[in-house]
Amino acid sequence: MSDIILRTTNLGKQYKNRWAAQDINLEVHRGDVFGFLGPNGAGKSTSIRMILSLIKPTTGTVELFGQDLFKHRDLALQNVAGIVEKPDFYLYLSAYRNMQIAGSLTLGKTPADKRIMDTLNIVGLAERALDNVKTFSHGMKQRLGIAQALLCDPQLIMLDEPTNGLDPQGMKEVRELIVRLTTERGITVFLSSHLLNEVEQVATRMAIINKSKMLVQGSVEELLKANANKFLFNVEPVKKSLGVLGKIKTVSEIIQTEEGIIAKVNPKNIPSVINELVKAKCKVFSVQPKRSLEEYFLEITNET
């Protein structure tokens, strides 16, 4: 079987005269945490809905595990699970019953009690298994959604904005869970988000979509290479510091911004740069790596 487990070719959806997504060509490799980045309304959810057969595309094809989604839908989706936008459930039923329903749709039979409880245990909901989902918080529903996705041992999980509406603790838990899924269970994760730091922290490969069109795709490392090694210097006085930094050979691309001075420096040379600034009697309050994905994202989306 090919190493590429999800491939879309010229995938697009048109509503009357408006394209909600156009020419989406994605390639997700086995073992990836694939970040699908884009501002709100860029076409991320539409693309995911097409991949999961909720929406019929106007153009293009989707191949999952080598199977054409539109010719062999059941086979193609056999090893795929997902949460599209927010997870929704039968609120009048318990978490356990919801798991049974979701599991039976994939397995063709009601999943075993142990399997359900083990999966609920992974997301920390085993003790609430018999409670009606309507009593669950948003974070708990999100975790239950992930449990439903995990229930049938999928090889690919598609998560659409999985941390939407969660508090910082909940976001952290979901991120950690995503990393665990790939490292411990070997699951490929397709993660759509408009939160750059979320993708930056977990993704190995990514694609950026804006105004319905896909702009770039590749490994996070490669895409950010050009913007690597940038640091934000919070120093005083700024003018004097600019002069000192300008004289250091290992420092380049010095820009003064409202936040402070941004300069390109090899991280190994940071101590000597700070030393030079201190020697010149400049006050160094902080030196932080500049979030290069944010810069990269803004740069690339502003171009379109």
Partner 1 sequence: MLNLIYWELFKTYSKWRTYIGFIAVGVLIPVIMWIMSYSGEQMIQRQLRSLQKDFFISGNLFNGWVIGQLIMNGLWVHVPALIALVAGDQLSGEATGGTFRLILIRPVSRTRILNAKYFATLLYTASLVLFIGGLSLGLGLWIFGSGDLIAIDREGISILPESELIGRFFLAYALAMWTMFVVATLAFFISSFVENAIGPIITTMTVIVIFLIVSNLPVESVENIKPFLFTTQISVWTEAFKDPYDWSKIIKSCAALGINSLLFYSATLIIFKRKDILS
Footprint on this chain of partner 1 (rule: CB under 8 A): 49, 52-56, 73-78, 80-82, 84-93, 97, 100-102, 104-106, 108-110, 148
The least distance separating partner 1 from the CB of residue 262, rounded to whole angstroms, comes to 42
Buried b (16+ CB within 10 A) or exposed e, 42-78: bbbbbbbbbbbbebebeebebbbbebebeeeeeebbe
The token pair that represents 229 in the structure block: 């090694």
* Closer residue to partner 1, CB minimum distance, 108 or 168: 108
The least distance separating partner 1 from the CB of residue 158, rounded to whole angstroms, comes to 8
**What is the C-alpha to C-alpha distance for residues 118 and 113, in angstroms, rounded to an integer?**
9
The least distance separating partner 1 from the CB of residue 27, rounded to whole angstroms, comes to 21
* Closer residue to partner 1, CB minimum distance, 60 or 260: 60
* Closer residue to partner 1, CB minimum distance, 149 or 282: 149
* Closer residue to partner 1, CB minimum distance, 54 or 255: 54
Buried b (16+ CB within 10 A) or exposed e, 256-288: eeeebbbbbbeeeebeebeebbeeeebeeeebe
* Closer residue to partner 1, CB minimum distance, 101 or 232: 101
The least distance separating partner 1 from the CB of residue 26, rounded to whole angstroms, comes to 17
Q: Which of 199, 241, 206, 80 is nearest to 148 (CA)?
A: 80
**What is the C-alpha to C-alpha distance for residues 287 and 218, in angstroms, rounded to an integer?**
29
The least distance separating partner 1 from the CB of residue 153, rounded to whole angstroms, comes to 13
